[in-house]
Structure 1
Amino acid sequence: MRIAVTTPNGNVGRHVTRMLVRAGVRPLLLARHPRSVPDELARHVEVAPADSREPDQVVAATRGVDAVYWVDPPAASADPLADYARATEAITTAVTRNGIARVVFQSSVGAEKRHGAGEIDGLAATEVALDGLGVDVTHLRCGYFFTNLLLDIESVKSGRLQTVLPVDVPMSWVAPRDIAEVAALTLLNRDWAGRRVQAVHGPDDLTWSQVAAILTDELGRDVVVDRITDEARYEQFLAVGMPPAMAGAVLGMSTGLRDDFVPEQERSVVTTTPTTLRAWIRGDLLPALRDAPG
């Protein structure tokens, strides 16, 4: 089985790649910048240049592929949902023209809403489009990535986090490596067929207050979390240069899942993964803090 992996240097994709290599697979990596693939992987993988928003490039790169791990790249323009639509067109065109039989798609908790969840609406549209192709497809509905804390590492260092969410309402938090494990095992498992949804909820549902308490323990200094208004967060996004539509879409990922949202799949042995926030902090966040300037 020839397996293609998109975003091979991403938080999840880099783990998927190495897991497939360890399983004896020689994956095909689709990369916008092929030279960014680490040299240590060179003799274990194939690399094809492809921008995941360009249908012709994705079609050319995936000829002869049996299965693909697909990730919509994050929005990069003033029209984020249009970016997602282009990525959707790229994967659906490649699946159709190349007869790709199986897709594992990295979606998100909240895609089941279909509308009203900001950028997640773009993932929902990809789900719907893939469902319409009649191929075997698994949608991984992933919780909130631990690695999102790295996107605001200055706030972590200062000991003051901010969120628009209620600080005492639990939600699923997950390690990207655990998502990769589910993805790799799903790609390698030939016994499923049709349309599947596989939530990846991490080991525990955590509130922001609990996250702050765990960070306090592990970092050895006080970390607190403040709830701010939607308007304040939106203005922060604009202040760092986000176009208004992008700022609204990023904000919508939080506000759209804030009020009475319940994931379609409940927590169970199937949806629970092992890596705890404490383990991730020790293995990933603490080294990043040591390496961060200032």
Structure 2
Amino acid sequence: MTVLVTGAKGNVGRHVVKELLSGGHRVRALTRDPAGAGAVLPDGVEVATGDLAVPDSLAPALEGVTALHLITFDGGDGAPLRTGPRIARLAAKAGVRRVTVLWGGEPGPVEEAVAAEGLPWTVLQPQEFMSNALAWTGSIRTEGVVREPFGATRSAMIHEADIGAVAARTLTEDGHVGEKYMLTGPEVMDMPQKLAVLGEVLGRDIRFVELTEQQARERMRREGASQEAIDHVIGWYAAPPGEAYTVTPTVERILGRPPRTFAQWARENAEAFR
């Protein structure tokens, strides 16, 4: 089996690649920047050049591929991909027999296109990534402060490695076609609770400064986020769906072990905050 992993250098994609390799599968990693792939991807991965926003560039990468891990957002600005129909047609033409679709927070055109093309799909619907906390590394290192809006918002954050492990299983095992898997971590936490865990791991106090919605929007705009991405992110945190703060048993059912906790994630990534 040859599996093409899109977003292979991303927070989730790297773990999909690692899990597939550990299972003995041939992995082809799609990237727009093959020159920088060696510093991120492990040995044994075949690197292919392509851009989901330019779907015809995927045709060579799809040759001989039997399974596809597909992200649904543009790696450049985080906006939802609009090229789903062409990507799905290319995958079907190449003979892809299994697809995992990693949603970007809500159903979108890529999921619709994969289903319409008749590809055997599984949709992965993780809630907030634990790796989102890496956005705080600079302010924690220099000031011991985190500035974010909506401090009371609760979420059942999930470790990106658990998402990668579930993706690898659904791509290589039977019984997952047509499923939509809501993926969460094992606990529900608000911002003060997250920072308390990080502070305990780091051995220091971390202060929380709550931004207004307007301040948060202006910050994202300065950082170059598109208006669509800003509206999506702010809207999610302002009024998250019930699924975002409801722990599900899906990860344990598929992997046969409990999902990783935020404390585990914090210990693994502590050096980034020091």
Q: TM-score, normalised by structure 2?
A: 0.86
Query: Where does residue 282 of structure 1 map in the other structure?
Result: 267
Gap runs ≥5 in structure 2: 253-257
SS at match of 1:222: coil
- Matching residue's letter, 1:252: H
Query: Where does residue 5 of structure 2 map in the other structure?
Result: 5
Identify which of 230, 233, 243 aligns with 1:263. 243
Shift of 1:277: 1.1
Query: Where does residue 105 of structure 1 map in the other structure?
Result: 101
Query: Where does residue 84 of structure 1 map in the other structure?
Result: 81
Q: Give yes or no for the alignment of 1:238 onto 2:234.
A: no
Q: How does 1:42-121 map to 2 (within 5 A)?
A: 42=43, 44-74=44-74, 76=76, 81=79, 84-86=81-83, 88-108=84-104, 110-111=105-106, 114=107
Tell me, yes or no, if the aligned pair for 2:103 and 2:125 is still in contact at 8 Å. yes
Structure 1 residue ranges, 4+ long, deviating more than 6 angstroms after superposition: none
Identify which of 211, 214, 219 aligns with 2:197. 214
User: Whole-Å Cα distance in 1 between the matches of residues 148 and 221 of structure 2?
Assistant: 16
Gap runs ≥5 in structure 1: 115-123
Tell me, yes or no, if the aligned pair for 1:54 and 1:90 is still in contact at 8 Å. no
Query: Where does residue 139 of structure 1 map in the other structure?
Result: 123
Q: Give yes or no for the alignment of 1:15 onto 2:15.
A: yes
SS at match of 2:238: coil
Identity rate, percent: 25
Shift of 1:231: 1.0
Shift of 1:227: 2.8
Q: Give yes or no for the alignment of 1:155 onto 2:113.
A: no
More off after superposition, 132-141 vs 219-228: 219-228
Shift of 1:266: 5.1
Deviations along 1:242-288, whole A, 9 cap, x unmatched? 26xx145234323245336212995332246521111111111x221
- Matching residue's letter, 2:155: M
Query: Where does residue 183 of structure 1 map in the other structure?
Result: 167
Query: Where does residue 34 of structure 2 map in the other structure?
Result: 34
Tell me, yes or no, if the aligned pair for 2:148 and 2:209 is still in contact at 8 Å. yes
Query: Where does residue 119 of structure 1 map in the other structure?
Result: none
Deviations along 1:155-177, whole A, 9 cap, x unmatched? 22222223322x23421211111
User: Whole-Å Cα distance in 2 between the matches of residues 259 and 14 of structure 1?
Assistant: 30
SS at match of 1:206: coil
User: Whole-Å Cα distance in 2 between the matches of residues 75 and 183 of structure 1?
Assistant: 19
Tell me, yes or no, if the aligned pair for 2:52 and 2:74 is still in contact at 8 Å. no
Query: Where does residue 121 of structure 1 map in the other structure?
Result: none
Deviations along 1:121-150, whole A, 9 cap, x unmatched? xxx222222222222111111121111121
SS at match of 1:30: strand
- Matching residue's letter, 2:146: L
